[in-house]
Copies of this chain bind each other. A is one copy, B any other.
Amino acid sequence: MTQAEAAPAWRTTRWFNAPAPLALADLRGRVVVVCAFQMLCPGCVSQGLPQAQRVAQTFRPEDVAVIGLHTVFEHHAAMTPTSLEAFLHEYRITFPVGVDEPDGDGLPKTMRAYDMQGTPTTLLIDREGRLRRHAFGHLSDLQLGAEIMALIGERPQPLTSIGAGAGSVCISKG
């Protein structure tokens, strides 16, 4: 694997359900499951987020980190952090959720860095911080469970093996 496959760093402005902002690098060593969503996206509410909650309940936290990313690319005034906070409370979402950094009226910065096509999008990032799966839309639970376990089963390599430059990939793609 090459450096180009390292997952871009996140660009976030705020976090919920986390004591401090979370960087992807902080999660090195664990498999990371990112659920990119918008609180007013029906498919996110009915499928993507419940699936992410099931993932968080099924796997051990030391193996898998589930992260929500609020990637608002439409109706910006309707999906503010104030609305998101109430949404997370009402839907009892307890995993950490970061707010993707807005970039005017267009795609927010992390969404653009990952070249996401819409929401919900599921990302799987391996123990060494490499993006291994990028799925727009629905993934079945069987498929997702299998893919997560395949990554859990990989033996982590020394951290030096992928270098520290992951973030720069984000900039070059953005």
Q: With A140-B54, A141-B142 known to touch, is A86 a contact of B91 (CB < 8 Å)?
A: no
Q: With A42-B91, A149-B153 known to touch, is A143 a contact of B58 (CB < 8 Å)?
A: yes
Q: In the complex, A55→B143 CA distance in Å?
A: 9
Chain B residues with CB below 8 A from A152, complex form = 146, 150
- Determine whether A1 belongs to the interface, using a CB cutoff of 8 Å to chain B: no
- Determine whether A148 belongs to the interface, using a CB cutoff of 8 Å to chain B: yes
Q: In the complex, A51→B66 CA distance in Å?
A: 25
Can you list, as one digit per residue, whether each of A126-152 has a CB less than 8 Å from chain B (1) or not (0)? 000000000000001111111111101
- Determine whether A90 belongs to the interface, using a CB cutoff of 8 Å to chain B: yes
Q: In the complex, A41→B45 CA distance in Å?
A: 12
Chain B residues with CB below 8 A from A4, complex form = none
Can you list, as one digit per residue, whether each of A81-92 has a CB less than 8 Å from chain B (1) or not (0)? 011011101110
Q: In the complex, A79→B143 CA distance in Å?
A: 33
- Determine whether A164 belongs to the interface, using a CB cutoff of 8 Å to chain B: no
**When the two chains form their complex, are residues B42 and A146 in contact, meaning their CB atoms are under 8 A apart?**
no
- Determine whether A172 belongs to the interface, using a CB cutoff of 8 Å to chain B: no
Q: In the complex, A145→B54 CA distance in Å?
A: 13
Q: In the complex, A12→B40 CA distance in Å?
A: 23
Could you list which residues of chain A lie within 8 angstroms of chain B, going by C-beta atoms? 40-42, 45-46, 54-55, 58-59, 74-75, 77-80, 82-83, 85-87, 89-91, 140-150, 152-153
Interface contacts beyond A78-B87, A141-B141: sample of 9 additional A-B pairs, CB < 8 Å, sorted by A = A40-B83, A42-B90, A45-B45, A58-B142, A75-B86, A78-B82, A143-B145, A146-B146, A147-B149
